[in-house]
Amino acid sequence: MGPFWSSLFEHLKHCGRGGTVFMLTLAGLVILAALAAIICATQLYNYLLPVLPVIAVVAFAWVAVAVRRARARRRERLHYSPLSRDELRVARSKLVKHANRVS
């Protein structure tokens, strides 16, 4: 591996998730551009244009179902059981201690 690639990957390690998302997006754009070039070169777009609305409806339905499921999971996750008296007492004492330190 050349020095360019090793330094690039070393830099991306320090970027965290942002670097990974950047590289995945860049790879996706390159693949998308290659597919667009192949479709235009072979004139497949004559066959794909009539199918495009159907693909859009299916994609929209899939996204709607995914959003609905995510919202249902979020609602299930938000239900907490009430705290016992002992847990409430400990939490209040911690809050009072923290308020005394701040002021």
Please give the pLDDT value at position 103: 61
Please give the pLDDT value at position 1: 64
List the one residue out of 11, 35, 38, 36 whose CA is nearest residue 23. 11
What is the domain count for the chain? Answer: 2
65 in the same domain as 21: no
Please give the pLDDT value at position 63: 97
Residue 39 and residue 48 in contact, taking contact as beta carbons nearer than 8 Å: yes
pLDDT < 50: residue spans in the chain: none
72 in the same domain as 35: no
103 in the same domain as 56: yes
Cβ-proximal residues to 48 (8 Å cutoff; 6+ apart), any chain = 39
Which domain does 65 fall in, by range? 50-103
61 in the same domain as 33: no
57 in the same domain as 31: no
Token pair for residue 34? 């290659």
